[in-house]
Structure 1
Amino acid sequence: MPAVSMASGMLKRRHVVRVVVGLFAFVFDLFLWQGAVTTPGGAVLPVWLVPAALISAYAVLLIQRRIWIGFSVFLLISLLGLAVASIVGIVGTYMAFFLMVRHSSTRVANTALAGMILPVFVATYSSVSYDGRSEDLLGLMAWNIGFYAAVAFLCYFAARTQRRTEHRLQTERRWADAALEEARAGERLRISRDLHDSVAHSMTAVVLQVAGVRAILKKGAEFEKVDPVLADIQVTAEQSMRELHRLLGMLRSEEESQVGQSHSFDDIPSLVSSAQDSGLDVVVTCNGEAQMLDPSISHAGYRVVQEGLSNAMKHGGEGCRVEIATHWMPTELTISVTSISGVAKRPAVSGGFGLLGLRERVGVSGGSLSHGPTPGGYLLKASLPVDKPEDASASDQRSTHTAKTQEAS
């Protein structure tokens, strides 16, 4: 619920900002229009035609969820510049173009950039035709084309940069939330084990002791007075133990569902793809023959790559390059994530799990983790154990034996 309300609040703020910017753009378009209604042939158009067309275009852009519709309407509105002695709707066209590039894929954004040729041409034609000067016509055309095209490219690169930045922040937050939930699940499992090792065993001891006291007191003279009380204690202790096992079962079932949904080493390509969509340059190399991994080790390998990419996105800066290298050996898997820092730096987003938790996870899995700065960036390297093929069956037998022991207990 808090995440939904937060997302709803962000959407409302974005809509308010878009409306305010749209009002300023509309006023600026009216200023550039300056009430011109005369056509090149000398005819006079209705005065209300241009403002009504602009109002309709802005309404479509601000109300319609599909931004490409508003962008297409503004492309049509820009054609009014061929009919009146003024530039019509150029500011709204740039606004629609920015939103189009901001919320679309790269292919759609490039298509919209190509579509900006039309308003740039119309604006240049209007500026040259109604300027009233005939000298240096080519220079005037070149200046206008360069100016309008430069503004279009500026909108394009600003929108793509904002899209990549937001996508990167969303990816970091999603990874941080997943790591935080993983930490919480681990804490729940730890509490479950502590309860089982302390409370459950203590209650079992109480039951056995009470049963022994009853057996001893049966030989005494006052058995009839003590037995009802001890019987009640025994019944209560047994009920408490059953309730405790029920609660422990709920905790463990929740934890098992979390573990079942955890990522594995095979999910690294999707992780890399998500980072690349955020604008990060990632190169992956693999040496050796891949082998089957224990689920915990497989998840640890995934977390190493995730942490390396997350740190590169937070601290590497624009233009950062990440090289992920995996080296398979008969008994060991080595994963190294090397980040080569970019030029521009930006504030980091708090993760919450970090290298400390990753070191603990890798250590529990029987591996080792090392990290530190390099001359050009940062290196995160992990070594994880890989079971030999002949050890796989033995490992399965140990797992089966452990499961049977737990069921018996």
Structure 2
Amino acid sequence: MLERLRDWSRWRLDVLDALWVLPMIAISVPQTGPGTVGDRPVALVLFSVALIVPLFWRRRAPLVVFTVIALVALAQWAADVGPMPADLAVLQAMFVVAKLRSFRWAVAAGLACVLGVFLAVLRWWTFETPDGPLTGPFVALSSIVAAAWLGGVYVNIRRRYLEGLEERARRAELERDQHARIAIAAERARIARELHDVIAHNLSVMVVQADGAGYALDHDKELARQAVQTIAGTGRQALGEMRRLLGVLREGESDGFAPQPGLDQLGDLVAQCRAVGLPVTLDVRGERRELPQGLELTIYRVVQEGLTNTLKHGGPGATASVELAYGDAEVSVSVSDDGRGAAARPDEPGHGLTGMRERVTMYGGAVSARPRPGGGFQVQARFPVHAR
């Protein structure tokens, strides 16, 4: 498909070049009749065609076309076939070189045109002018050459500038995508490590209870029954954890990691922030209930991320509050501060928020991070809670 588009673009440019060259020939040739410059109409027609036709390939080979047209113009000068409208082809060829090629070649083409103007004035302008015999025509024609040259150089600089902007934008987009992928991959790897501790704990409980049930089966059937019920409940909890995280985990080595924190460690987290100078209050509402360890870990991480953002962006004098509310059908947590809010945060890549959203979504929750109406910033997450 792309190849077809490129072919269509080249074909369209060829048509435009042809539509440009043919009218130039039609305009130039009829003006070359007997008595125009000398009495050699055939030479005038031949030189006009030789000057104009190469312009058809000016986009594909600007330097070659300019060289050919310059040589034809030099032959015209040597044959003493005077100036004619087709000589403007030299100017156009120089413009294309200045537009499409490097500055070095643009300077070379411009100097060649100025030299051609000097030779033309030297041979064909012999009348006197107020500024001298040759100064007036040379200055006038050189000014036209300079204007065309500057126009080509300007278009070249502008084109290269826009191409540079497009390239930088493309690279920036690629870098953003790469950073996002790296951040997501790192967060998934971290979740996988944390899952190891949660699931490993549940499986360890199941193994111990199974061993105990096997021993109690011959001595205390009621105790064995309780052990089996514990195994079933723990297994269902572990299965729920696996189902939530199965879609985002990657394979890899995952042993050797320390146990992860939960809601019982929120007080330690708040105390840690207070120790570094951030006034924080912790408010727990509702009746405490048992939550899956993975959900407790997620709530802990939400609070941790919110307080970390306050430390980074809240500014001096900021205070924060953490609210954990247990409802009948949901558990909500929010971290609010009265610092500078979002004004200092637009340049941040948002990796913490990306990981936070990923964690919360795995448990069917929703998270929001936004400036507060009265100033400051708030991170809030809600999780549905179902009876097991």
Q: Using structure 2 for the length normalisation, give the TM-score.
A: 0.48
Greater radius of gyration (CA): 2
Question: 1 or 2 for the larger relative contact order (CA 8 Å, sep ≥6)?
Answer: 1
Q: Using structure 1 for the length normalisation, give the TM-score.
A: 0.46
